[in-house]
Amino acid sequence: MGLPGRDGGPARAGRRITVMDVGGTTLRVGTFDAGAGGLLPGVRRTPVDGLARFPGEPVEALQRRVVEQIAREAGRPGVAGADGLCVAFAGPVDRDGAVRGAPTVWGGGGGVLPLRELLAARLPVPVLVVNDLTAAAWRYGAASPEPFCLLTISSGIGNKVFRGGEVLLDDEGHGGELGHWTYDRSPDAPRCDCGGRGHLGALASGRGVLAAVRRAALADPAGYARSALGGLPEPGNPAIAAAVRAGDPFATEVLRGTLVPLAAAIGGVFASIGIRRYVLMGGFALAVGERYRELLAAELVRQGCFGLTDAEAGAMVVLGADDDDHGLIGAGLLMDRRLGAAAREVAV
């Protein structure tokens, strides 16, 4: 992993940044060593004080709990004393670090939470709050001169476009929601977590693939019975991923079907703004691994990308690193860049 270079200047040796990744179930805390460009050993995982732990509590109470928890974690021995804190948060975040919604953390509704402001008032260090995928994009963006689109395929689908040293979003945090782009407009299209129908996330996410396997099993019971999945009591995503990796024809055909809308979404991003690099991450895509990349590339070639040769279209998708550290590492790189810029402003 390269260090922030170019306009960020070399990282000051010894700069340490507390990094947090706040998801629907787990809060992870680590220390990013900017000099080494990576995390120090010992990332701490703890259940998030949100909906998953306190079901039924009002949104405002859960928001208070989460703020308390983040501040508490930032003050723990071994964590306090860092040069800054960057929080990667599972929800849309605006330019000022206010969280505009967090259905997986504190459920639907509730007002905008000025998380950065609340934390900055309590902590003695600079604080940055960004969306978790925005942070993840920085993992690849800090060292990448060419623009790219990060795509996460896990229980849902999300994306972020990184270009010219920034993640492209509007000031209110809109953008990166390809998962809620409507692909299937039929009235009985599969339902998305958000309540809509036919959204990309309902069709091509890990959950979407699982639902597609169930539909295919009903439509072709004999084919299903012959497949590696047929003998399992209730095959989940790990079993589906393993079956595709092992070349099971039934599982592969189902996955191939779910890649049609995903390739269409990528084709739309390419055709509109010319992004030619798509970094795949997320539990489901990475569990299938290289075969997922291959099948998606083949579908892109089949659909065609205007102005590109087949070889060029097929080369657009690459796999991201197969670990859980995207948000933490990206948060560290982004905060280090910001602290570097702030230090230069003071010097001027």
Q: Minimum CB separation from Zn ion for residue 174, in Å?
A: 14
Stretch of 146-154, 168-176, 199-207, 241-249 lying at the interface with Zn ion (CB under 5 A): 199-207
Q: Minimum CB separation from Zn ion for residue 176, in Å?
A: 13
Question: Binding pattern to Zn ion, positions 151-180, x when CB under 5 A?
Answer: -----------------------------x
Q: Minimum CB separation from Zn ion for residue 195, in Å?
A: 7
Query: Of the candidates 48, 30, 47, 50, which has an alpha carbon nearest to the alpha carbon of residue 38?
Result: 30
* Residue 169 or 204 having the CB closest to Zn ion: 204
* Residue 142 or 153 having the CB closest to Zn ion: 153
Question: Binding pattern to Zn ion, positions 210-239, x when CB under 5 A?
Answer: ------------------------------
* Residue 34 or 202 having the CB closest to Zn ion: 202
* Residue 18 or 152 having the CB closest to Zn ion: 152
Counting runs of H as helices and runs of E as strands, what totals does the chain give?
13, 11
Cβ within 8 Å of residue 159, ≥6 positions away? 133, 149, 150, 151, 152, 176, 177, 178, 179, 269
* Residue 115 or 203 having the CB closest to Zn ion: 203
Cβ within 8 Å of residue 337, ≥6 positions away? 4, 8, 138, 142
Q: Minimum CB separation from Zn ion for residue 181, in Å?
A: 8
**Cα distance between residue 221 and residue 227, in whole Å:** 10
Closest residue to Zn ion: CB criterion: 192
Residue 199 in contact with Zn ion, rule: CB under 5 A: yes
H helix intervals, 186-325: 200-204, 206-219, 221-226, 237-245, 249-273, 283-288, 290-303, 310-314
The dihedrals phi and psi of 10, each to the nearest 5 degrees, come to -65, 145
Residues between 179 and 198 that touch Zn ion (CB under 5 A): 180, 192, 194, 196
Q: Minimum CB separation from Zn ion for residue 60, in Å?
A: 25
Size, binding site for Zn ion by CB under 5 A: 5
Q: What is the dihedral of CA 47, 50, 53, 58, to 10 degrees?
A: 170
Q: Minimum CB separation from Zn ion for residue 180, in Å?
A: 4
Q: Minimum CB separation from Zn ion for residue 285, in Å?
A: 18
**Cα distance between residue 328 and residue 149, in whole Å:** 19
Instruction: Pick left, alpha or beta for residue 130 (phi over 0 → left; psi -120 to 50 → alpha; otherwise beta).
Output: beta
* Residue 194 or 319 having the CB closest to Zn ion: 194
* Residue 196 or 289 having the CB closest to Zn ion: 196
* Residue 21 or 177 having the CB closest to Zn ion: 177
Q: Minimum CB separation from Zn ion for residue 156, in Å?
A: 8
Amino acid letter at 185?
R
**Cα distance between residue 240 and residue 224, in whole Å:** 12
Q: What residues make contact with Zn ion under the rule CB under 5 A?
A: 180, 192, 194, 196, 199
